[in-house]
Chain A
């Protein structure tokens, strides 16, 4: 929806509807409609094709034979190799949160709440969304570029000609690996963020790790940790599906591969943010504090 609204705004600007010359409102309306309708139709078409693609990948994923070896390879490539990046992003978030909230809380005389604020912020929102966006940058770009270049060099056609379903071997394994690895990476990012949040806090005002954790985790329930962590499986589904879809529909040689790579990252990041809004609302409804 935000994407559509921005498209309309751009179409209005492009159509010059603001200043119809000679009071030609009909012409201006036609220009607006052409400007707004075409991107909208293209967007609807894209969503439809993505849905058909996801359906085909889902069918391929549950039909025999299963590609366990390729799934493990993708889990290593998507999960284990993203670990340093995710750990660093989580650690940096912990430090920044600690520095920022410490100052704010001190103003209200609530400095003792620092561990709780850091831990709650990290496990409920900043850990999951930052991990998803960081991994999306690395993994969606990688999948989009790899599958895009396989498409333009006819490797995907070669696979299909060898009676191997590329939706199973290439797409289903990558999407599943993203779904399985994102919650794990999020948990690791959360741990790194909390630890570095403590390091940052204790450098300013010494506090033992045990006290920090006891204070911070006091009142934290599984409902505060599990739903936000497991919602990243949905982010994994989004990034894996969008990146595979954009990669496997690449046309236009190396320039097309570039476009597939960029669009994989842009669309998956945008959809993750939009999905986060919906998921947070659902979590609040189904797992009330």
Chain B
């Protein structure tokens, strides 16, 4: 069962453990001593205004950026101390849905989803095709396997990005603004997909968003960031009942 309070005790079974994380770009401090933990089967929503370092936090967790100080442990191992091969081994257990989908625009939808499979599995071409169809049908895109990313809409690209993120059955899934810029119906579909994934895969998920509807739909726990620091770490109920002026204003504006 997901915990409602953070427990930052080191544990090899804890998929994600972030301790005293600091990150700056030049003179701009983006993250200022972040602590958080995500348990298996738990969906953590990271809320905050634009520019508060939410996306940077995800990039730090998957090793695309390096922390200034502090540590990030994935399954008990500090990723800053891993060799390139070890880091890639860890990344194979993680899925990342980028804000704009980040599909490879020279490859078809099917090739995009099959890209990690072709490189990290021993599947035959036929097995890979079946797996790609299965993943695409999960996100309702099985009919678009041969289309190029430029031929499908932004919402569809995000769904394909989600299928690609799930290709290697990740234990940790990172979602960067999964519903940003989408119409309410497509956003609701994506929220439902994320909630379904939790039930099916029991993966630890981090959803970075400023969409309060997405939080209500799929989060077990919420972390609210303000100016690079955590101002709330608790359940969705804790968030809604918070007396903090900033959180109240955020919820009122977002509703």
Contact = CB atoms under 8 A, between A and B. Distances in A.
The yes or no verdict on A and B being binding partners is yes
Contact of A164 (B89, B102, B105, B119): B119
Contacts of A165: 84, 88
B191 to A, nearest CB: 22
Nearest to A164: B119
A154 B99 CA distance: 9
Nearest to A156: B102
Contacts of B62: 161
B115 A162 contact: yes
A254 interface: no
Interface residues of A: mostly helix, strand, loop or mixed?
A: helix
Interface in A147-167: 149-150, 153-155, 157-165
Interface residues of A, number: 16
A157 B102 contact: yes
Interface residues of B: mostly helix, strand, loop or mixed?
A: mixed
B77 interface: no
A66 to B, nearest CB: 12
B91 A154 contact: no
B116 A162 contact: yes
A160 B59 CA distance: 11
Which residue, of A153, A160, A163, A164, has the highest number of chain B Cβ atoms within 10 A? A163
B91 A161 contact: yes
Interface in B71-124: 84, 88-89, 91-92, 94, 96, 98-100, 102-106, 115-116, 119-120
Given A155-B105, A157-B64, A158-B104, A164 B98 contact: no
Contact of B88 (A157, A158, A163): A163
A153 B150 CA distance: 13
A154 B115 contact: no
A162 B116 CA distance: 6
A153 B102 contact: yes
Contacts of B102: 153-155, 157-158
Nearest to A162: B116
Contacts of A150: 104-105
Contacts of A153: 100, 102, 105
A159 B104 CA distance: 9
Contact of A163 (B92, B98, B99, B103): B92
Contacts of A164: 115-116, 119
B234 to A, nearest CB: 29
A46 B100 CA distance: 31
A161 B103 contact: no
A162 B104 CA distance: 12
A158 B120 contact: no
A150 B62 CA distance: 19
Contacts of B104: 150, 155, 158-159
Contact of A162 (B89, B91, B99, B105): B91
A163 B95 CA distance: 10
Contacts of B103: 155, 158
Contacts of A146: 106
Interface string A111-150: 0000000000000000000000000000000000010011
Given A163-B88, A163-B120, A154 B94 contact: no
A168 B62 CA distance: 19
Interface string B57-70: 00100101000000
Given A162-B115, A164-B116, A157 B98 contact: yes
> Which 3 pairs of residues, A with B, have the shortest CB-CB distance?
A158-B102, A163-B88, A163-B91
10 contacts: A149-B105, A153-B102, A153-B105, A155-B105, A158-B98, A160-B64, A161-B96, A162-B116, A163-B92, A164-B116
Given A155-B102, A161-B91, A163-B116, 9 more contacts: A149-B105, A153-B105, A154-B102, A155-B105, A161-B94, A163-B88, A163-B89, A163-B91, A163-B120
